[in-house]
């Protein structure tokens, strides 16, 4: 009997893992909470709202179509979309030692189909969220994360505003600006926080190694062309330090930064906008890996070995949850993880590509990584946790007053990170500000904000249905059974 692999996440890493596991003869169940495959990179509208020119808006669209057709067309592959993995827990009966809880149905609709899967091996490819540092006014309507603006542009063809500023750090700002401009918005500026010298040093170290990732140069040229076509100004060493407005954003203040991202006094410039999109970094989606018992390193990525196996035997990880590296690295890691999970030797070309793109990925934090000076653009009233409306002043005061308290107590006291998003947006920032205020480098309870035993909220009725069904099964087992009927036929 071939191995049954469960792949969670149908982005580039999960699709590549599924293809490799199928190639190795395994049966695969591929699940994703979204309604379409493709993940963040190949996000697109459904076919009925699609555009014949879809390929123009994506890099590697042909590769996506080939992966999509492969996984959808293989009878050994069961693709489940609109299927959220909401919990993972130890299960001695499961071949991989874990039970994976799945809820399938329309988001927020009643009556999700609840299932428990027990695969032979598991591949986690759950990707990342974008991380936005807080600034005064970031709670106003019209302030988007770059990822949200990108998802609306690519998945819905929605324009977030007419006059838009894109800000933050990293190469991700380039596709966001091009997608937003592609919806007809006027992009007034792309403000990159890192200074030009740091960007140049980060990207030009050991330049010969860039030859191994030459496809990225083509991608960059594509963005340069689009910036020229849409007349988008690109400002380095500059960032949005405040958003202004009463009912929604009406203007932003841009300021020049020093090398540590401290605003330089006297460089502030106010621009009228009706939308601003801000992303400073990415945060991996770790809750399922943590629930599965996988070790996470000090940089907060899932630890894997050469075969992408985590510290939990039978559990593999690929893509942004093992390190932020972009689509090519996600594809290579996925291909290695899928083959290994199916018990096969990973493809050598994928191993070479992983090495090349790991080196490429290391340039991103060197050139664009968050610097500590961002704290200088906060004031006491700046909200950190937007869900629970907790400001910087309150966080700092509580940490100082309750010297030595663990993160759990600090969260319960301030409510920061306990709102609807469960700290996905503010978690890292809450941790950093609390640690600053208490002068420690970690919390006494060694807690972090990535642990979410319920990874995706579920309706109480759907959870109750699981318990009812289990009770019914138990009751049926207790009742005396009639002897099986003998029909004389083989069954
Ligand atoms: C919002 C956003 C937009 C991005 N857009 C771009 C871009 O335009 N260009 C670019 O170069 N890079 C972009 N990136 C970076 C991009 O994430 C990577 O380059 C690439 O998509 C990583 O592939 P992946 O397979 O690791 O993750 P992803 O593509 O993020 O795929 C992860 C998949 O896992 C699914 N998932 C996660 N948790 C669960 C769960 N509990 N249950 C079920 N399914 C789950 C998600 O729905 C998602 O489809 C973006 C990142 C983000 C966060």
> Which sequence spans correspond to the domains of the chain?
4-129+283-346, 133-279, 378-438
Give the model's pLDDT for residue 329: 96
273 lines ligand 1 (CB under 6 A): no
Q: Which ligand 1 atom sits nearest the alpha carbon of residue 129?
A: 53
Q: Which ligand 1 atom sits nearest the alpha carbon of residue 333?
A: 26
Give the model's pLDDT for residue 335: 98
Strands 143-145 and 128-131, by their bridges, are unpaired
Mutate to test the pocket of ligand 1, among 8, 9, 288 (most ligand atoms within 8 A of CB): 9
Give the model's pLDDT for residue 478: 64
The protein residue whose alpha carbon is closest to atom 1 in ligand 1 is: 147
450 lines ligand 1 (CB under 6 A): no
DSSP H/E element including 230 = helix 215-230
Give the model's pLDDT for residue 486: 40
Q: Could you give the 3-state DSSP secondary structure of residue 307?
A: coil
408 alpha carbon – ligand 1 mean position (Å): 29
The protein residue whose alpha carbon is closest to atom 48 in ligand 1 is: 39
Range 4-129+283-346 has CATH code 3.40.50.970: no
The protein residue whose alpha carbon is closest to atom 49 in ligand 1 is: 39
Which DSSP state fits 482? P
Q: Could you give the 3-state DSSP secondary structure of residue 80?
A: strand
Give the model's pLDDT for residue 477: 65
Q: Which ligand 1 atom sits nearest the alpha carbon of residue 102?
A: 42
DSSP states of 25-63 = T-EEEEEESSSSSSTTTT----GGG--TTGGGGSTTHHH
DSSP states of 152-170 = IIIII-----SEEEEEESS
Alpha-carbon distance of 86 to 445, in angstroms, equals 25
201 alpha carbon – ligand 1 mean position (Å): 28
40 alpha carbon – ligand 1 mean position (Å): 4
Whether the Cβ atoms of residue 180 and residue 151 lie closer than 8 Å to each other: no
80 lines ligand 1 (CB under 6 A): no
Give the model's pLDDT for residue 403: 77
100 lines ligand 1 (CB under 6 A): no
Alpha-carbon distance of 322 to 311, in angstroms, equals 12
Mutate to test the pocket of ligand 1, among 41, 98, 129, 172 (most ligand atoms within 8 A of CB): 41
CA neighbor of 426 nearest in space, from 375, 387, 469, 381: 387
Give the model's pLDDT for residue 485: 44
DSSP H/E element including 100 = strand 98-104
32 lines ligand 1 (CB under 6 A): yes
287 lines ligand 1 (CB under 6 A): no
Per-residue CA distances from 18 to 60, 64, 184, 296, 379 (Å): 18, 13, 37, 24, 48
Alpha-carbon distance of 252 to 434, in angstroms, equals 27
The protein residue whose alpha carbon is closest to atom 39 in ligand 1 is: 126
Would you say the C-alpha torsion 148, 278, 8, 216 has a positive or negative sign?
Answer: positive
Q: Could you give the 3-state DSSP secondary structure of residue 276?
A: strand
Give the model's pLDDT for residue 401: 86
pLDDT, one tens digit for every residue, the chain (491 residues): 789 999 999 999 999 999 999 999 999 999 999 999 999 999 887 777 766 667 677 788 899 999 999 999 999 999 999 999 999 999 999 999 999 999 998 877 788 899 999 999 999 999 999 999 999 999 999 999 999 999 999 888 899 999 999 999 999 999 999 999 999 999 999 999 999 999 999 988 777 777 778 778 888 889 999 999 999 999 999 999 999 999 999 999 999 999 999 999 999 999 999 999 999 999 999 999 999 999 999 999 999 999 999 999 999 999 999 999 999 999 999 999 999 999 999 999 999 999 999 988 999 999 999 999 999 999 999 999 999 999 999 999 998 888 778 888 889 999 999 998 999 999 999 999 998 888 888 888 778 889 998 998 888 888 888 877 777 777 776 665 554 444 433 33
Mutate to test the pocket of ligand 1, among 11, 16, 308, 364 (most ligand atoms within 8 A of CB): 11
Give the model's pLDDT for residue 355: 94
* Count of all residues that appear for the chain in the document: 491
DSSP states of 162-200 = SEEEEEESSTTHHHHHHHHHHTT-EEEEEEESS-HHHHH
Q: Do domains 4-129+283-346 and 133-279 have the same CATH topology?
A: yes
| One CATH from 3.40.50.300, 3.40.30.10, 3.50.50.60, 3.40.605.10 for 133-279 | 3.50.50.60
């Amino acid at each position: 009997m071939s191995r049954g692999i469960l792949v969670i996440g149908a982005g580039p890493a999960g699709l590549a893992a599924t293809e490799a596991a199928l190639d190795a003869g395994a049966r695969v169940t591929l699940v994703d909470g979204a309604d379409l495959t493709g993940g963040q990179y190949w996000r697109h509208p459904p076919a009925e709202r699609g555009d014949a020119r879809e390929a123009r808006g994506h890099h590697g669209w042909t590769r996506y179509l080939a992966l999509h057709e492969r996984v959808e067309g293989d009878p050994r592959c069961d693709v489940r979309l609109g299927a959220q993995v909401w919990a993972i827990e130890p299960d001695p009966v499961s071949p991989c030692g874990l039970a994976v809880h799945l809820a399938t149905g329309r988001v927020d609709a009643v009556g999700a189909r609840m299932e428990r899967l027990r695969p032979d091996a598991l591949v986690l490819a759950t990707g990342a969220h974008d991380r936005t540092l807080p600034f005064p006014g970031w709670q106003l309507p019209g302030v988007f994360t770059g990822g949200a603006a990108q998802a609306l542009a690519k998945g819905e063809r929605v324009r977030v505003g007419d006059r838009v500023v894109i800000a933050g750090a990293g190469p991700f700002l380039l596709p966001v600006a091009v997608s937003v401009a592609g919806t007809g918005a006027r992009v007034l500026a792309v403000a990159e926080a890192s200074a030009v010298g740091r960007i140049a040093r980060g990207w030009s170290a050991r330049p010969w190694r860039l030859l191994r990732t030459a496809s990225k140069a083509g991608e960059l040229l594509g963005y340069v062309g689009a910036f020229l076509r849409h007349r988008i100004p690109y400002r380095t060493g500059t960032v949005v330090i405040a958003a202004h407005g009463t009912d929604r954003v009406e203007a932003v203040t841009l300021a020049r930064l020093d090398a540590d991202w401290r605003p330089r006094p006297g460089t502030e410039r106010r621009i009228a906008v009706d939308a601003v999109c801000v992303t400073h970094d990415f945060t991996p989606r770790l809750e399922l890996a943590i629930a599965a018992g996988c070790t996470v390193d000090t940089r907060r990525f899932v630890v894997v070995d050469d075969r992408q196996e985590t510290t939990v035997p039978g559990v593999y990880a690929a893509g942004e949850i093992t390190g932020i590296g972009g689509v090519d690295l996600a594809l290579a890691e996925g291909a290695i993880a899928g083959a290994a999970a199916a018990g096969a030797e990973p493809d050598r070309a994928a191993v070479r590509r992983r090495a090349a793109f790991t080196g490429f990925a290391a340039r991103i934090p060197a050139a664009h990584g968050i610097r500590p000076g961002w704290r200088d653009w906060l004031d006491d009233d700046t909200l950190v946790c937007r869900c629970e409306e907790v400001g910087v002043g309150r966080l700092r005061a509580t940490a100082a007053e309750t010297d030595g308290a663990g993160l759990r107590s600090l969260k319960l006291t301030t409510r920061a990170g306990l709102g609807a998003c469960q700290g996905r947006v503010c978690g890292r920032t809450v941790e950093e500000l609390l640690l600053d205020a208490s002068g420690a480098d970690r919390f006494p309870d060694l807690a972090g904000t990535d642990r979410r035993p319920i990874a995706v909220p579920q309706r109480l009725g759907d959870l109750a249905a699981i318990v009812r069904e289990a009770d019914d099964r138990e009751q049926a087992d207790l009742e005396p059974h009639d002897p099986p009927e003998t029909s004389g036929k083989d069954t």
